[in-house]
């Protein structure tokens, strides 16, 4: 194995030669240590920690390219590395670097001097968990990484310590999270008992044997859907999402909106894909019920998120419901991963989800950055206070408009192509998946109303307030995001070729690559 | 009476139901946390019992026990974080009644 760490030599640590495939995570761990020791050397602790975290994230992002192609199972199958994992890690690290930049540009002054080290330790810790969520198929590791992603998120949600709403949001988040994850562990313990192994690939293989389905398998699947549905914020496990987004700072809300949901979606994608491929993508009791569950879950989540967004007056709460709706669209596509005759539609659906996540990342980062800028300058998160933004801050208003149009899925932006691909993949399969296409279509029309309402407030209402000043950095991030949305639409074809392998995940059973 | 796998599974199921009922009826945040701990322990009983009774394919079977150890460790970490957040909630609301957490809605 061409390990990146091989040049350093090999001390007597079991599995040392396999660590190379997880270089991005190692860089993240090093960055966490760096953030913790930085305060000893400088007076401007918050800013210094942000720079160290940013350097670590960029370093980890670069090292993702070094590990691309080292496909296979590592550490006796506890972790796997394949193109899906690599793609998600790249997206996640890029996004988190964007969050740190956004923090420097907008939120830095609001944070008490000395809180920075804790904040960035938690942020990087959550990122570490979310990046590992994409590369595991072992029940024990699934539990560990979900908790590794969740525990820092609970604290981040309550980081405004003296703020009533922050305290309430984090309390709801932690109690709800603890409840769903405990039910998930109970489900996992039953899965272990039913199949005698913790390896999901082996479990999926046994699950596919006709007549081997035990009634307790329903409890296992309910537990898994509760645990992962909570992270995705699928209805009915979505209650925490709007509250946490409103109670937490904008940067934390933006981080959770993409990173937490995306990681859970990728984990769910990998699990469903393993179950589907072990069953040979044939219709069996497990795959059909799983496909129906995911399809209904996705349709209900998308519709609920859009309907609830109508009445919102707080921009973060509106974006929270919007993120619930978008998660719903992606869950719809996951229902394709099981119960079809061959691998091709499943691989297409997986690719559509990854492309959607890539586009979703930029539109959400742009929208939240402008929300953070408005919050920094006016201290308000109300949509009404965006009035006259077209005159007060033309660049910011234009960026916000571009991101919102992309969230709707309107043509000159990448959100359009991503949604179109998602719907096309669903439509090509026919059957009851056509209904999902209609659900997504109707939801798009519904969402047009509340996204355009913000645009209307920005351009058609004006209360004659002063020009919105503020630093240049958030505007640069916003323009970069908006530019990416246009570039991604133009280059969607090459993006499509780049992610072609995303759907062909590493399977420890059928893969040519031997378990290392 | 010979204690078999079924006895452990029934015990775990009873613990699970107790935990879910506790989570649903308690209005005290620490009470809800206790319900969570009950469910985690139900999972632990399951894991250790399965580990003992399932046939080992090759060598010794240990994965269930290791899993249980990790669940215990993470339950402690989760409790530490939840208690810290409950304390922060208490500082703001002078109560740990979850009914008081009703400022955010809609």
Contact B40/A at CB under 8 A: yes
Which residues touch B96 (CB under 8 Å, ≥6 apart)? B28, B29, B30, B86, B89, B90
DSSP annotation of A11: -
Using left for φ > 0, alpha for ψ between -120 and 50, and beta otherwise, residue A125 falls in alpha
ipTM: 0.96
Residue ranges of chain A whose pLDDT lies below 50: 1-3, 510-516
The pLDDT tens digits for B47-61 are 999 999 988 777 788
pLDDT at A212: 64
Give the mean pLDDT of chain A. Answer: 88
CB contact under 8 A, B29 and A171: yes
Q: Which residues on A lie below 8 Å from B74 (Cβ)?
A: 143-144, 147
Q: Which residue of A158, A178, A381 is the best one to mutate when testing the B interface, meaning the one whose CB has the most B CBs within 10 A? A: A178
pLDDT at A9: 57
The alpha carbon of residue A164 and the mean position of all alpha carbons in its chain are separated, in whole angstroms, by 27
pLDDT at B61: 86
Q: Which of B36, B74, B105 sits opposite A147 (nearest CB)?
A: B74
- pLDDT average, residue stretch B77-105: 91
Tell me how far apart the alpha carbons of residues A25 and A276 are, in angstroms, rounded to a whole number: 29
Q: Which residues on A lie below 8 Å from B11 (Cβ)?
A: none
Long-range contacts of B89-96 (CB under 8 A, 24+ apart): B89/A167, B89/A168, B89/A170, B89/A171, B89/B29, B91/A161, B91/A162, B91/A167, B92/A162, B92/A163, B92/A164, B92/A167, B92/A168, B93/A164, B93/A167, B93/A168, B96/B28, B96/B29, B96/B30
| Cis before A236? omega within 30 | yes
pTM, two decimals, is: 0.93
Q: Which of B49, B70, B81 sits opposite A154 (nearest CB)?
A: B81
What distances in angstroms separate CA A3 from CA A30, A338, A389, A494, one per listed residue? 19, 35, 52, 29
Q: Which residues on B lie below 8 Å from A155 (Cβ)?
A: 81, 84-85
pLDDT at A2: 47
CB contact under 8 A, A168 and B92: yes
Q: Which residues on B lie below 8 Å from A181 (Cβ)?
A: 78
Give the mean pLDDT of chain B. Answer: 92
Give A188→chain B minimum CA distance, Å.
8
Assess contact for A374 and A392: CB atoms under 8 A.
no
Q: Which residues on A lie below 8 Å from B93 (Cβ)?
A: 164, 167-168
pLDDT at A493: 85
Q: Which of A139, A172, A178 sits opposite B36 (nearest CB)?
A: A178
Long-range contacts of A493-500 (CB under 8 A, 24+ apart): A495/A355, A495/A358, A496/A351, A496/A355, A496/A421, A499/A83, A499/A87, A499/A351, A499/A354, A499/A355, A499/A358, A500/A351
Contact A418/B at CB under 8 A: no
Tell me how far apart the alpha carbons of residues A66 and A61 are, in angstroms, rounded to a whole number: 9
pLDDT at A345: 75
With b for 16 or more beta-carbon neighbours within 10 A and e for fewer, the A295-324 pattern comes to bebbbbbbbbbbebbeebebbbbbbbbbbb
Nearest CA in chain B to A191: B47
Q: Which of B74, B85, B104 sits opposite A246 (nearest CB)?
A: B104
Q: And the tokens for A475? A: 């505007």
CB contact under 8 A, A189 and B50: yes
Q: Which residues on A lie below 8 Å from B103 (Cβ)?
A: 164-165, 168
- Across the A:B interface, residue pairs with CB atoms under 8 Å apart total 135
The pLDDT tens digits for A397-445 are 999 999 999 999 988 899 999 999 999 988 888 788 889 999 999 999 9
pLDDT at A10: 60
Strand partners, A73: A80
Contact B41/A at CB under 8 A: no
A 235-294 residues with CB below 8 A of B? 242-243, 246-247
Q: Which residue of B24, B78, B97, B100 is the best one to mutate when testing the A interface, meaning the one whose CB has the most A CBs within 10 A? A: B78
Q: At what angle do helices A343-378 and A315-334 cross, to 10 degrees?
A: 170
Using left for φ > 0, alpha for ψ between -120 and 50, and beta otherwise, residue A14 falls in beta
Q: Which residues on A lie below 8 Å from B91 (Cβ)?
A: 161-162, 167
Nearest CA in chain B to A307: B106
CATH of domain B5-98: 1.10.287.3510
Contact B104/A at CB under 8 A: yes
Tell me how far apart the alpha carbons of residues A20 and A227 are, in angstroms, rounded to a whole number: 30
Contact A196/B at CB under 8 A: yes
A 387-416 residues with CB below 8 A of B? none
SS3 assignment for A306-332: HHHHCCCCEHHHHHHHHHHHHHHHHHH
Strand partners, A199: A138
pLDDT at A476: 94
Answer yes or no: is pLDDT of B106 > 90.
no
């Amino acid at each position: 194995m061409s390990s990146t760490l091989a040049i350093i030599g090999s001390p007597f640590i079991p599995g040392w030669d396999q660590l190379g495939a997880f270089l991005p995570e190692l860089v993240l761990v090093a960055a966490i240590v760096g953030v913790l020791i930085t305060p000893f050397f400088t007076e401007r602790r918050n800013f210094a920690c942000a720079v160290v975290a940013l350097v670590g994230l960029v370093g980890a992002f670069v090292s993702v390219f070094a590990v691309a192609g080292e496909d296979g199972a590592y550490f006796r199958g506890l972790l796997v590395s394949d193109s899906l994992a690599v793609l998600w890690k790249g997206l996640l690290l890029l996004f988190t670097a964007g969050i740190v930049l956004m923090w420097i540009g907008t939120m830095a002054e609001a944070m008490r001097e000395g809180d920075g080290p804790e904040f960035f330790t938690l942020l990087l810790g959550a990122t570490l968990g979310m990046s590992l969520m994409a590369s595991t198929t072992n029940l024990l590791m699934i539990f560990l990484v979900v908790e590794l992603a969740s525990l820092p998120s609970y604290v981040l949600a309550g980081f405004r310590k003296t703020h009533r709403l922050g305290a309430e949001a984090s309390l709801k988040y932690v109690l709800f999270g603890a409840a769903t994850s405990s039910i998930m562990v109970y489900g996992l313990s039953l899965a272990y008992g039913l199949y005698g192994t913790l390896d999901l690939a082996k479990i999926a293989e046994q699950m596919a044997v006709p007549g081997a389905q035990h009634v307790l398998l329903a409890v296992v699947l309910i537990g898994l859907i509760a645990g992962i549905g909570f992270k995705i914020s699928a209805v009915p496990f979505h209650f925490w999402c709007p509250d946490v987004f409103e109670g937490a700072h904008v940067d934390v809300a933006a981080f959770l909106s993409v990173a937490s949901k995306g990681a859970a979606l990728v984990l769910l994608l990998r699990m469903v894909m393993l179950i589907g491929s072990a069953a040979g993508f044939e219709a069996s009791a497990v795959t059909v019920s799983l496909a129906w569950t995911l399809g209904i879950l996705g349709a209900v989540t998308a519709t609920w998120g859009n309907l609830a967004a109508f009445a919102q007056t707080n921009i973060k709460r509106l974006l929270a419901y919007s993120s619930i709706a978008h998660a719903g669209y992606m869950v719809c596509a996951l229902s394709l991963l099981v119960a079809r005759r061959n691998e091709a539609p499943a691989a297409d659906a997986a690719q559509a989800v990854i492309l959607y996540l890539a586009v979703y990342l930029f539109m959400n980062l742009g929208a939240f950055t402008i929300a953070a800028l408005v919050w920094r300058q006016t201290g308000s998160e109300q949509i009404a206070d965006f009035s006259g933004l077209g005159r007060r801050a033309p660049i910011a208003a234009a960026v916000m408009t571009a991101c919102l149009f992309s969230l709707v899925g309107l043509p000159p932006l990448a959100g359009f192509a991503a949604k179109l691909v998602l719907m096309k993949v669903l439509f090509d399969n026919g059957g009851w998946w056509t209904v999902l296409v209609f659900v997504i279509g109707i939801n798009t029309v519904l969402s047009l109303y509340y996204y355009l309402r913000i645009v209307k407030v920005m351009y058609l209402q004006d209360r004659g307030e002063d020009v919105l000043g503020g630093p240049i950095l958030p505007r640069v991030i916003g323009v970069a995001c908006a530019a990416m949305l246009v570039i991604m639409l133009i280059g969607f074809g090459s993006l499509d070729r780049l992610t072609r392998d995303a759907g062909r995940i590493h399977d420890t059973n059928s893969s040519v690559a031997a378990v290392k | 009476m010979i204690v078999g796998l079924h006895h452990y599974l029934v015990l775990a199921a009873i613990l699970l139901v107790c935990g879910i009922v506790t989570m649903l009826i308690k209005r005290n945040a620490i009470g809800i946390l206790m319900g969570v701990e009950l469910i985690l322990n139900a999972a632990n009983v399951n894991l250790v019992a399965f580990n003992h009774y399932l046939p080992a394919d090759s060598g010794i079977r240990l994965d269930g026990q290791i899993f249980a150890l990790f669940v215990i460790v993470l339950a402690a970490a989760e409790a530490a974080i939840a208690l810290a957040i409950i304390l922060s909630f208490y500082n703001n609301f002078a109560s740990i009644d979850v009914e008081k957490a009703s400022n955010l809605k809609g």
